Amino acid sequence: MDASTPTGKHSNRLCGETSPYLLQHANNPVDWHPWDEQALSLAREKDIPIFLSIGYAACHWCHVMERESFEDEVTAAFMNEHFLNIKVDREERPDLDAIYMNAVTAMTGNGGWPLNVFLTPDLRPFYGGTYFPPDGRYGTPAFLDILKQIDLLWKTSRSKLFQSAEQLTALLARHGGSPESEHDVLSAGLREAAAAYLESAYDKTWGGWGSAPKFPSPATISLLLRGCTRESNTGHLEMALSTLRKMAAGGIYDHVGGGFHRYSTDERWLVPHFEKMLYDNAQLAVSYLEAWQVTHDAFFKTVTCDILNYVLRNMRDPAGAFYSSEDADSEGEEGKYYLWDKAEIMHILGPEDGQDCCAYYAVREEGNFTSHEPYHQGRNILHTSPKSDERVDSGRLAAWKEKLLNARIRRIRPGIDDKVITAWNAMMITALARAGFTWNIPEYTSAACKAGRFLREIMYDGSILYRIWRRDRKRFPGYLDDYALTANAFTDLYECTGDESWLKSAQTLTERMLDGFYDPEGKGFYSTGPGHENLIVRMKAFHDTAEPSPNAVAALVLSRLGLLFDLPRYLVLARKSLLPAAAMALRNAPGYLHTLLAADFLIDPPVEVVFCGSPDTPEIAAMIEILSGHHVPCKVIAWASDRQAPPLLPICAAKTMEEGRGTVYICRNGACLPPETTPEGLEKALKKD
């Protein structure tokens, strides 16, 4: 059934929503409301507590709680009688998610999704948690028992609940703003503090940091690769490359279809939580691309392209934008779409290839999926060992993958959350643009530009950048991450194509971001702007999550545009907005890695690269190939044209083609090397720099 047309005897107020996650709950017997003024007014009018449940379409445990509790008639009847029940898609409303996630984390020490919070009618939280089981287990009371206890306390001890809500709201207000920073701490010491932590927490056996569950950390990889490039630190290089190889060998990587699952439930990267998120794959594509730039190892290029090809094949809307996520479940079973029986592989590939393929991917008759779920018995998660590449040539491997993929396509696919999120699309545009530029793959560059035009022409109306689009309907004013990441992506599109319209659009969005989100006291950016409703706290996001810190990205794009346009004001604002998080990074580096990456543009002078000539000419293309083969993360690229007077960018002034030939200039810290007109000359100049 199409989630956009819910039917059934219980159709509720979510029927008119665009979010696939909300539409999944539109037939629950729970009388769900979307978060809107009508629902909030009704809670105040009835003087009843609000039960707020936040999740997202690809969240496995959100589906579990729906089946167990929200589809249960008895539980739903109690909820409807005693609470005003609101469902929120965290991807549509990150502002609500941030406030109430902070509240639950403060109350319980843990957070996650589904996020379930009880609020007073004036929206102050007083109790909450994540997944609540239908019966008491693991020290957690049954959900219905929690509901009954909250109802009893509301009727008999309301003053205590209000006191708790007041204290918690005050705590959120204190911690929702800027960390204090008394000194300018943007220095190489930031990088040293992060490196010390990463070395101590590194898993030498399986790669990555920490224990199970284990999440990919693209920012960590980028930081380590910068360290090895800047300081020739072989230890940093080994940590980064080993982690990337271990992840791509494990079950967290989709060996047949490409792309990465959300995270691994074990330390070995073997058993994934099977949903696939657009933002994860965008960031990981950049990580593997940068690893190729450092090593020129074809393995890293292959993984990068497999990620991007998966996204272009499975996650792209006909309009050119990209969908949000692919579910973990299909046919009611987690991971069913991705698991294999040995007999099935033997049937698809035949005796010889089937046996070799099963050996390559460690497929066993009895299965390798250790799980309490009966439907996982005898199933295999494909993964490889360090010696796998020695046994199979690339041609046979590609043929196996093609046949297995063709067979898998005939299965019932996991659900797709087909809403378009501006910030996540921006991250994928960056990945595609950089890959297309690095390896001269026009398909990637074209896809990046088409998605960029979607954001510029559909999601931006000349004054507001919108966050969500689904089926010709756009909703919700954009948040800080939408503005910052889109401006950053447009800057990437300019650098990779030479089309100045992208740079002008990037500056326009940056000015909108400064006008609407910047704290006038100079302490970074708020997550919400003037188009958003006033909530109990106006939050700032300095800490990294699975997505980059919006403040860090805002600082990065200010630094890049400040250098390109020679705008000292942008550079000053970038430094000011990084200072609060930089002070925290000295004490807790893992939570602020994107702050450290952004700070690199201000700690060391970036490299300025100016091309004179068209990127389509063979001579410029040859020099792009040389530049792309070097890992130079802190750089800006500009394109000068003899036809333009004066140039759009000051750094292009007086830079012309030498003797009518494509030319490149390399500058840093106010000093330029002699212009180069050959790939060999550029290679020497980059090594000299």
HEC string for 247-289? HHHCCCECCCCCCECCEECCCCCCCEECCEEHHHHHHHHHHHH
Sign of CA dihedral 660, 661, 662, 667: negative
d(CA 278, CA 289): 17
683 occurs within a structural domain:
yes
pLDDT of residue 547: 96
Q: What is the CATH number of the domain that holds 65?
A: 3.40.30.10
In a domain, 265, yes or no: no
Whether 349 maps to a domain, the answer reads yes
Instruction: Look at the chain and report how many structural domains it folds into.
Output: 3
* pLDDT score, position 393: 86
Q: Would 228 be classed as within a structural domain? A: no
The Cα 165–Cα 148 span in angstroms is: 19
Instruction: Tell me if 456 is assigned to some domain.
Output: no
The bridge status of strand 125-129 relative to strand 84-89 is unpaired
β-bridge mates for residue 115, sequence order: 54
- Final residue of a domain: which of 175, 190, 211? 175
> Which of 175, 203, 233 is the C-terminal boundary of a domain?
175
Cα–Cα distances in Å, from 47 out to 40, 82, 121, 147, 599? 10, 10, 7, 16, 49
Nearest-CA neighbor of 221 among 205, 202, 193, 204?
A: 202
Cα separation, 530 vs 507, whole angstroms: 19
Does 100 map to a domain? yes
Close Cβ partners of 509 (under 8 Å, ≥ 6 residues apart): 460, 465, 483, 486, 487, 490
Question: How far is Cα 345 from Cα 354, in angstroms, rounded to an integer?
Answer: 6
Question: Among the three residues 175, 191, 216, which one is the final residue of a domain in this structure?
Answer: 175
Q: Angle formed by the axes of helices 568-587 and 550-565, to 10°?
A: 150
Q: Does residue 304 lie in a domain region?
A: no
- Give the contacts of 397 (CB within 8 A, at least 6 positions apart): 360
pLDDT (0 to 100) of residue 644: 56
Range of the domain at 658: 607-688
Block means of pLDDT (10 residues each) for the chain, length 689 residues?
49 91 95 96 96 94 94 96 97 95 91 95 95 84 94 94 92 73 65 82 92 93 86 86 97 97 95 95 98 96 98 97 95 92 96 94 89 77 78 88 96 96 98 98 98 98 96 95 98 96 98 96 91 91 94 97 96 91 82 91 91 89 95 94 75 87 90 92 84
SS (H, E, C) 25-52: CCCCCCCCEECCHHHHHHHHHHCCCEEE
Assess if residue 431 is contained within a domain: no
